[in-house]
Amino acid sequence: DVQLVESGGGLVQPGGSRKLSCAASGFTFSSFGMHWVRQAPEKGLEWVAYISSGSSTIYYADTVKGRFTISRDNPKNTLFLQMTSLRSEDTAMYYCAIDASAWFAYWGQGTLVTVSA
């Protein structure tokens, strides 16, 4: 079965940094592009970033460009999101998701990041 397990969330001070991970199993990770999507508490979904299977293509939402970095380690079947200069508006559940030609075929259960003093 496909599994995506996010980790690394927690309480972070404004201006701080955090690195999220997404451990993948049950599919050939190196063959698929991957996304991060977030959801602020009681709010809707916001796409954050995309990385292609071989890391050659990367896109970011304008709201995180220059502050967040998406990366992946294919031999370790792991996706990352390095977040810096965090703001209160970055508080959200962060989901990793498998790309299927730019829609989201399968989602992990998410990891919660709270940015607060």
Partner 1 sequence: DIQMTQSSSSFSVSLGDRVTITCKASEDIYNRLAWYQQKPGNAPRLLISGATSLETGVPSRFSGSGSGKDYTLSITSLQTEDVATYYCQQYWSTPLTFGAGTKLELK
Give me the residues that bind partner 1 (CB under 8 A), please. Answer: 35, 44-47, 50, 59, 61-62, 95, 100-110
Cα 36 from Cα 78, distance rounded (Å): 13
- Least CB distance to partner 1 at residue 66 (A): 15
Cα 86 from Cα 5, distance rounded (Å): 22
Name which of 44 and 66 has its Cβ closer to partner 1: 44
- Least CB distance to partner 1 at residue 13 (A): 27
Q: Which amino acid is at 94?
A: Y
Token couple for 98: 């498998």
- Least CB distance to partner 1 at residue 117 (A): 27
Laid out side by side, the sheet with 18-25 consists of: 3-7, 18-25, 78-83, 68-73
Name which of 44 and 75 has its Cβ closer to partner 1: 44
